[in-house]
């Protein structure tokens, strides 16, 4: 099981962006082209760079990516399971031999009233009692989103219907373990069916020659 993070800031350089874009599969180029903001195009391209990196790390050179009806990307032959996310200046990708989900959120000021709408009462109390309330909110939010991504339902499943402070988390008979990492500028969580823990994310350095 692996987690990769990429700072997409170097893609602001048009020549670096083009070098990676030109190597993208057609489906990814379409997603990138559909983005209105260049920052969104950078993040979408960053996600594809991490998919390619993760596949190579797992010795998979011939693969095809499809999209499920809920919008979840998956490898056609199920040689490996993966999940992607992006926020702020970071793209994230997680890989496993079982269903997996990742969510990353840029550290920012948040409206804590959102917790009242989407979180369990116990989780709301947990945030209210925390010293760094906004950080704890983001940790719980990424944990919930990562589970729903691994579960394959996305945000169509009510966030208040499951509790994510403890580990593992049970959802519809499935058991998910969660790892959460927090730095100064991001929070990222990975939900997975494997029992082992992630040690830490691997930070990928972007250069025109890494693909």
> What CATH number corresponds to the domain at position 148?
3.90.470.20
Residue 194 resides in a domain = yes
Quick one: average pLDDT of 180-185? Answer: 91
Nearest alpha-carbon partner for 138 in 118, 122, 162, 167: 118
Residue 64 resides in a domain = yes
Higher-scoring residue by pLDDT: 156, 16: 16
What is the span of the domain harbouring residue 164?
A: 2-204
> What pLDDT does residue 179 have?
93
CB 191, CB 143: distance < 8 Å: yes
Residue 188 resides in a domain = yes
Q: What are the structure tokens assigned to 76, written together?
A: 């056609």
Inform me whether the pLDDT recorded for 174 exceeds 70: yes
Rounded to two decimals, the pTM is 0.90
Residue 174 resides in a domain = yes
Q: What are the structure tokens assigned to 66, written together?
A: 């499809």
pLDDT digits (tens, 9 = 90+) for 22-74: 999 998 999 999 999 999 999 999 999 999 999 999 999 888 888 887 778 88
> What pLDDT does residue 42 have?
97
| Residue 188 DSSP class | E
Residue 210 resides in a domain = no
> What pLDDT does residue 194 have?
76
pLDDT digits (tens, 9 = 90+) for 75-128: 888 889 999 999 999 999 999 988 899 999 998 888 888 888 889 889 999 999
Residue 211 resides in a domain = no
The number of distinct structural domains making up the chain is: 1
Counting beta carbons within 10 angstroms of the beta carbon of residue 93, is it exposed (0 to 12), middle (13 to 18) or buried (19 or more)?
buried
Reported as a pLDDT band with limits 50, 70 and 90, residue 211 is: very low
> Measured between alpha carbons, how far is 170 from 5 in angstroms, rounded to an integer?
27
> What pLDDT does residue 208 have?
55
């Amino acid at each position: 099981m692996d987690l990769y993070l990429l700072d997409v800031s170097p893609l602001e350089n048009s020549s670096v962006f083009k070098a990676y874009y030109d190597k993208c599969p057609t489906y990814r180029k379409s997603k990138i082209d559909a983005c209105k903001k260049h920052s969104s195009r950078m993040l979408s391209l960053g996600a594809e760079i991490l998919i390619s990196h993760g596949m190579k790390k797992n010795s998979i050179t011939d693969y095809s990516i499809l999209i499920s009806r809920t919008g979840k990307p998956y490898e056609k032959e199920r040689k490996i399971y993966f999940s992607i996310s992006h926020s702020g200046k970071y793209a994230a990708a997680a890989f496993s031999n079982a269903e997996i989900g990742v969510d990353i959120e840029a550290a920012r000021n948040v409206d804590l009233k959102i917790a009242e709408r989407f979180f369990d009462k116990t989780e709301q109390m947990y945030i209210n009692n925390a010293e760094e309330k906004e950080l704890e909110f983001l940790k719980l939010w990424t944990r919930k989103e990562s589970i729903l991504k691994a579960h394959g339902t996305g945000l169509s499943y009510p966030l208040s219907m499951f509790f994510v402070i403890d580990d593992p988390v049970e959802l519809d008979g499935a058991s998910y373990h969660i790892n959460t990492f927090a730095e100064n500028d991001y929070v990222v969580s990975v939900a997975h069916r494997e029992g082992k823990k992630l040690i830490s994310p691997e930070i990928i350095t972007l250069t025109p020659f890494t693909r």
